[in-house]
Structure 1
Amino acid sequence: MTTVAFRVDASDRIGLGHAMRCLALADALRARRVQTAFAAAALPERTADLLRSRGHTVLLLASAGETWRGEPGGEFDAAAQRADATATQRALATVGPLDWIVVDHYRLGGEWERGAAEFARRVAVIDDNAQRAHDCDLLIDHNVSAVCERYDGLLPGRSLRLLGPRFALLRGQFARAKDAPLRPRARVARLLVAFGGADPTGETEKALEALALPSLSALDADVVVGAANPRLEAIRNLAQARGRVRVHVDAERMDELMDAADLAIGAAGVSALERCAKGLPTVLIAVADNQVPIAQALARRGAAVYLGIAGDVDAHRLARAVGGLAAMPNLVQMMAEKAADTCDGHGARRVAARMLAADIRLRPAAPADRDCVLAWRNHEATRRHALDPAPIDPVSHASWFAERLRDADCVLLIGEDDCGSVGVLRYDVRGAAARVSVYLVPERHGEGLGALLLHAGHRWLAANRPAVRTIDAEVLADNHASRLAFAEAGYTLHRFTLQRRLSSGE
């Protein structure tokens, strides 16, 4: 049985977001019959109980009380990271051999990951700030602001990058059925206020103060807070004084509250993507510096209105923003559509599929592969996005194939896994540079294998053609699947090729 462990912490000071996104991925893995375990140095008992209730093993690091008390901060020094990796290994000793260990922790970086590689076959990192170097096999950054270039120089060449809201680690309740109609939100009558379980900057009270102003008196509201919020009693008093406000403590069905709301007020953490998956437009307040680029990116997409960092936003400014949106129902509906376009809630399933994909093995093409390669290349699904979509006749292909096998500067490889053939890689090598051409076996489309095949090619070149230092690729602008695969494999935009078709009358 495949075994995946998670190293994550949670506390009232650092919040629950890291643990919740790990839980989303762990649930997706459990659905595929994977054994899962969590190792933590700081974890509220209610969170540990939630993890256990979902079938995940929870283990505490023996050194938790001495080295880590759930406080926010920067990356640990090398010695502390090595000590934490050792403590993690000891805590997970009873779980058995690890196929993957996933770490989601701002204070642990490359030094910890190198230690983890000694007791786990592969290391995955969940990150969202691109401020520290990693030594991992897989990096997941599901934020709207995530782009491939952010991690240049911070990752080893072997790392697969899963970037953007397509890989958002959200719980299953937020997964939207394909082509499911969006709930109309053309009229703002009910608000949802949610700033996480801890809300250390007191934004919930600020929102309630805004709701108490005369301009927003006609609106109903649901307010979500955590049981450990030290200002819970004050929040309840404000809600009671205002009226038409329901306070939900540790709400389990946030999806239902989002479905009932017309507009949300919240922060720009993981919950911002949950709201996008439900097509719920938001007035955003950043409660930490690393939320600023996320909030700005969502505002640029038209999915949210961003007011600024918490210290710069008061109740009156918040009330003006909400009141302005309530007066523009068409804008609210447009924001809902833009939010839904940002994220579909299936990211955890996609990441789990990438992690569990069997290793792709590469072998040089042989004469016996000639007819299969032609059939794959001439399939409509392949030709649809080929640079030259015309079918190739068998005689021309036979000549071309024989020449490629003889050409010392052409590397023609067949990818295979435990399920059979995966696809074809061709590298045309010119000194230290190579140009890649890639396509999948048509029956294997939709399995997320493109980036994995490209990564297998990188490893093959490193072992067999070490003089190659750069790889170029050419992709049609409308081939979104291929562009995503190349981005996941670490390719970045180098130059544009523009084309204009001339009409006969010109």
Structure 2
Amino acid sequence: MSIKKGIHRKVLFYFDIGPGIGLGHAMRCIALAEAFRDQSFQPVLLGEGQAELESLAPGLFFPLPAHDRDYFFTDPEGWVRELCCDAYQIFVVDSYRMPLEQLDRYRQAGLYVVYMDDFYSSPIGCNLVINGSLAAEGAEYTFCHDEGIYLAGPHYALLRQQVRTIRTKRIKEKVPLSESPLEANAPVPIAMHQSVKLRVLVTVGGDDVQGHLPSILAGLELFISNCQEINDFRVHVVLGPFMKPPTAAWDRHWIQWHKPPINILDLAASVDMAIIAAGVTLQEMLCIGVPILLVLQADNQLLSAKVAISGGMSISLHPELQAMDWDGSVSRLAPLDPRFIAGQLHRLFAGLEAQRIVQCGMLKMDGLGAARCVSVALEHAKAICR
């Protein structure tokens, strides 16, 4: 693989990926890399994950040769000197392993440093902070220097370009998008309630850290056994690359298993509802217009889940989250109850709530955040380098 002809500037990406971590950091970086590519930058990957990325974004990232990574942490200044001789200008970091004080060393050595934050870290040493979380609207950041800026809230959510394409398609086919959500008692029937066909997407992340999947499948089985009006039921279960394969105990004619490599968005275009974790996939489904039932896999998903539930953009499969003052570690949540899951599925299928969820979500998340972030980054980099 070689650097694309006509592209002379490079943007370097470093992010977390793997078992127990999943694909969320990678998905955000893919979205930002696509937007940089549109501005004639070549995205370059530092670190692991090339194999997983090739199934999600074939050919998008150029792998940095191993010898260029030798003193990445031990001598940032010397490492950056080599990079800058090779047309590198921007360094994007989406990693909990990266010490925050290290960001300032890369910045002072000459790179424009972009940092994706989930924990409202301050003060911080990068040039630009991006926090596109639903819960980040109104958040503020402080910096250890005078030239830092931040972009916070769903206006800057980093979503792949395919999300926007599918959104446009679904709006044309099935989702009338008005300027405001439907009134609580508006007599508007939802398409799925009039149909005997139901397609459900289930994806709990790159790794099922909390072990939710068996309870979700049991809840779906209870739901369909008590919902006689559905005679064409299909559940698409996406197994993350770091999940264990399914057991024979869950061999059902209505379950279709999808193993890596698989692009969730290819399935999302045609489903009627989705059971998902509250990570990047939540933002994607909100933008596309899919009615959502949420589960939590990690503590960094809690705030976004609360905003999505309280804002009418999703339904929770954790009873604790219906009391919005709940504030604890995800590991302290009770195991998912299949009976509660079946009840929430009936709630979404039987009423107008799905229509309201779709409209609230699509109005909040428009899918243009990555392009906005790159535009701001390039203008800011140009201004401070004069």
Alpha-carbon distance in 2 for matches of 1:115, 1:359: 17
Q: Which runs of 5+ in 2 are unaligned?
A: 1-7, 176-189, 319-329
* Structure 1 match to 2:372: 350
Instruction: Give 1:474-485 correspondences, 5 Å limit.
Output: none
- Choose from 83, 96, 110 the match for 2:74: 83
| Structure with the bigger percentage of strand | 1
Q: What residue is the counterpart of 2:226 in the other structure?
A: 215
> 2:104 is paired with a residue of what secondary structure?
helix
Asked whether 1:9 is paired with 2:16, we answer yes
Deviation at 1:63, TM superposition (A): 11
Alignment partners' CA distance in 2, 1:48 and 1:352: 21
Shift of 1:168: 1.3
Change (3 A) 1:206 1:97: same
One of 51, 54, 63 as aligned partner of 1:58 = 63
Counterpart of 1:233 (choices 246, 252, 255) is: 246
2:362 is the alignment partner of 1:340: yes
Q: How many Å separate the matches in 1 of 2:21 and 2:125?
A: 24
Aligned identity (percent) is: 27
Return the offset for 1:350.
1.5
Question: Counterparts of 1:178 and 1:212 in 2: how far apart (Å)?
Answer: 31
Structure 2 residue aligned with 1:245: 255
CA-CA distance at 1:333 after TM superposition: 0.8
Counterpart mapping for 1:394-433 below 5 A: none
Change beyond 3 A, Cα 1:253–1:178: closer
One-letter identity of the residue aligned with 2:96: Y
CA RMSD of aligned residues (A): 3.3
Task: Answer 1 or 2: higher relative contact order, Cα 8 Å, separation at least 6.
Answer: 2
Cα pair distance change 1:149/1:357, threshold 3 Å? closer
1:162 to 151, 154, 163: 151
Match of 1:31 in 2: 38
Match of 1:319 in 2: 342
Q: Based on CA coordinates, which of the two structures has the bigger radius of gyration?
A: 1
Of 198-207 and 337-346, deviating more is 198-207
CA distance in 2, matches of 1:94, 1:137: 17
Q: Structure 1 CA distance, aligned partners of 2:121 and 2:149?
A: 18
1:197–1:82 CA distance, 2 compared to 1 (3 A)? closer
For 1:102, which of 81, 92, 99 is the aligned residue?
92
Displacement after TM superposition at 1:94 (Å): 8.8
AA matched with 1:215: N
Between the aligned partners of 2:99 and 2:204, the Cα distance in structure 1 is 27
Query: 2:11–2:44: 8 Å Cα contact kept in structure 1?
Result: yes
Alignment partner of 1:124 out of 110, 114, 118: 114
Matched, 1:47 2:58: no
Consecutive unaligned residues in structure 1, runs of 5 or more: 66-79, 362-455, 461-506
TM-score, normalised with respect to structure 2 = 0.78
Is the contact made by 1:190 and 1:262 (CA closer than 8 Å) also made in structure 2? Answer: yes
Q: Cα 1:147–1:336, aligned 2, differ >3 Å: closer, same or farther?
A: closer
SS of the residue aligned with 2:17? coil
Q: In the comparison of the two structures, how many residue pairs are matched? A: 341
Q: Work out which of the residue numbers 259, 283, 297 in structure 1 matches 2:269.
A: 259
**Normalization by structure 1: what TM-score?**
0.61
Q: Describe the superposition over 1:237-290 as per-residue Cα deviations: whole angstroms up to 9, x where unpaired.
A: 3542x3211111135442232221111111110000000110112111111111
Tell me, yes or no, if structure 1 residue 172 matches structure 2 residue 183: no
1:233 CA drift (Å) = 3.0
In 2, distance between residues paired with 1:275 and 1:101?
A: 28
Question: Which amino acid letter does the alignment assign opposite residue 204 of structure 2?
Answer: F
Structure 2 counterpart of 1:409: none
Q: Give the partner amino acid of 1:209.
A: A
Q: Residue in 2 aligned with 1:297?
A: 307
Deviations 1:65-123 (A, max 9, x none): 9xxxxxxxxxxxxxx99538469649x74981422111111122431111212444311
Aligned-pair CA distance for 1:195: 1.0
How big is the shift at 1:49?
3.7
Deviation string 1:189-234 (CA, Å, 9 cap, x unpaired) is 221101122222222222112112233684421111124312x132
